[in-house]
Chains A and B, each alone.
Chain A
Amino acid sequence: VRNLRLVLWVAVAVAAMIGGALLWRQSNAPLLKPVPTQVSFGGPFTLVDSKGQPFASSKLAGKPYAIFFGFTHCPDVCPTSLFEISEVLKAMGTDADKVNAWFVSVDPERDTAAAMKDYLSSFDPHLKGLTGEPAAVAKVISAYRVYAKKVPLKDGDYTMDHTALIYLMDRDGHFVSPFNLKRTPEEAAKDLKRYL
């Protein structure tokens, strides 16, 4: 029994050391570099902004941006994400002008430019919507390796299963990492500011 107890205490000590090391690493996390990938991630596109004007991805250059996908007939999850991102943008203060946040529709059939504008009007003004012709949207969805699938509900209505990750892209348009919102807006803002 004594031996077993000793072994257990050693195990606890080792676990504590590993935990401590992990915590230490997190708090001193280096600036993440773009992930070198074999497959391309992102890429050029032309969509339509919420004013109904064509929007070319070349306009994204020079500022880091967050890009994520959703749809306006999404009553639960999308507003929750939009709320959380709005909080981060607010926490950035004036630095929020130096980043962009793009909400791209996975449901271009229903998401007109006007619907996107209306949907985003209650969130932080730095959040901008992009939609477009189904083929153009499909191209972006595939470029960002996003999963989006129509799921029928009752009476001909439908919802969309979709990737809900937020992709953080650097100033040169390279993918950095998924952006973590499961922390305080202040912490997330501090992290985002490192990429300015």
Chain B
Amino acid sequence: MLRPATFAIALTLAACSAPGPKISTRDAWARETGSADSAAAYVTIENKGGADELVGAKASIGEAMIHESSMDGGVMRMRPVANREGLSVPSNGKLMLGPGGTHVMIMGLKGPLKAGDHFNLTLLFAKARPHKVDVTVKPAGAM
């Protein structure tokens, strides 16, 4: 008869002891822009702790949003990843934002991005604290 109660306690304990996320980032880059006032930024987010979610981004140089490109029947679409839950950053796993998929779209750029420039991007998570990333601008032909 005690089993359900014991189980509940065990669950509670497990929840309390669930480790927080441990976020780190690498390979943060963006493409040089020409006359367009928008840019895409890419980054690999690693998590050595408990599961978390990427819920947004902020940039010093414009308005940042998480966007997703998807191909459907040969038609390419780009949409904000909004009104949805955040993007999963799994426990002891990673979330890769890369060309042709999920990326940070920065709109309303105050000026063009030139190869060699750097700018600050802040990634926002459901649990972890905001994480600052130094983004390197690469030539437009970079991958």
The 0/1 profile, CB within 8 Å of B marked 1, for residues 36-77 of chain A is 000000000000000000000000000000000000111111
- A123 beta carbon closer than 8 Å to chain B: yes
CA distance A75 to B113 in the complex (A): 12
Which of these, A79, A110, A147, A151, contacts B99 with CB under 8 Å? A79
- B38 beta carbon closer than 8 Å to chain A: yes
Q: A72-B36, A76-B67, A119-B35 are in contact. Are A82 and B141 (CB under 8 A)?
A: yes
CA distance A165 to B74 in the complex (A): 6
- B79 CB contacts on chain A under 8 angstroms: 151
A155 touches B140 (CB 8 A): no
* Nearest Cβ on chain B to A86's Cβ, whole angstroms: 6
Interface size on B, residues (CB 8 A): 33
- A115 beta carbon closer than 8 Å to chain B: yes
- A74 CB contacts on chain B under 8 angstroms: 36, 78
A159 touches B78 (CB 8 A): yes
Interface of A is mostly: mixed
- A174 beta carbon closer than 8 Å to chain B: no
17 A-B contact pairs sorted by A residue (CB < 8 Å): A74-B78, A75-B31, A75-B38, A77-B76, A77-B100, A82-B141, A83-B99, A83-B141, A86-B141, A118-B35, A121-B140, A153-B80, A154-B63, A159-B78, A163-B75, A163-B76, A164-B74
| A83-B99, A155-B63 given; 8 more Cβ-contact pairs under 8 Å | A74-B78, A121-B34, A122-B32, A151-B77, A154-B63, A155-B108, A161-B75, A164-B71
